[in-house]
Amino acid sequence: MIVEKKEGEVDKLKMCKLCQDAVADKTNSHIVPKWMGKTLLDTGNGYKGFLLNSTTADLPRKQSQDIDKEDYILCSSCEQYFSLIETWFKNDIFDQLHGNPRTKKYILKHNGLGIKWAEFHDPNMIRLARLFYYSILWRTSICSAELWQSIQLPKVEEEYFRKILHDCISHRKVELIGLLSKVVLKDSQLQHQTI
């Protein structure tokens, strides 16, 4: 999209990397949800996050207060969509597994060796978790932040995740529930693409 500026100047605007239809107008888009970053970096819980780099190992460590953000990768609508996924995931999966259950939607299992896991029997919860993780993996792959440069998916896989995320774009939970069936539970299609 090209927009005319005054006095004949032309400015080429970036398009949203998810929907590819609207101008990427959002600034400070979190690559990883803010609540996850707060969980990892919040100094109130005794933990601190530090950015480390092998080329600057001799310099004082810089404490990180927030997870990386990036400007102009998403439009407002797609940012709202990711917010919907993140909020639903946090409330119905993350909080339940971390001691703040609203209603128990999983069975906690363990193998006797200290390894525990949760089994969600509602296919929508499994699909929601996939959509949530796909959104983070896709955003880390498309962003330019130094922290995530080692996570670069091959273009065919990046596009595969973008299409899944795009096919489920919605702005209300009830709409998203109806679209979750598009999220496959086995990614045989992805395995065939990467061979």
Sorted by sequence, the CB contacts under 8 Å of residue 53 that are 6+ apart come out as 146
Range of the domain at 115: 2-54+61-194
| CA end-to-end span of the chain | 36
Q: What is the pLDDT, as a whole number, of residue 159?
A: 95
Vertex 101: Cα angle to 98 and 107 (nearest 5): 80
Amino acid present at 159: E
Rounded mean pLDDT for each run of 10 residues along the chain, 195 residues in total: 44 83 91 74 54 58 64 94 94 77 68 78 87 94 79 91 95 92 68 36
Q: What is the pLDDT, as a whole number, of residue 22?
A: 95
Distance of CA 149 to the CA centre of its chain: 15
Query: What is the CB neighbour count within 10 angstroms for residue 97?
Result: 14
Integer Cα distance of 69 and 29 in angstroms: 5
Q: What is the pLDDT, as a whole number, of residue 165?
A: 96
| Domains: count for the chain | 1
**pTM higher than 0.85:** no
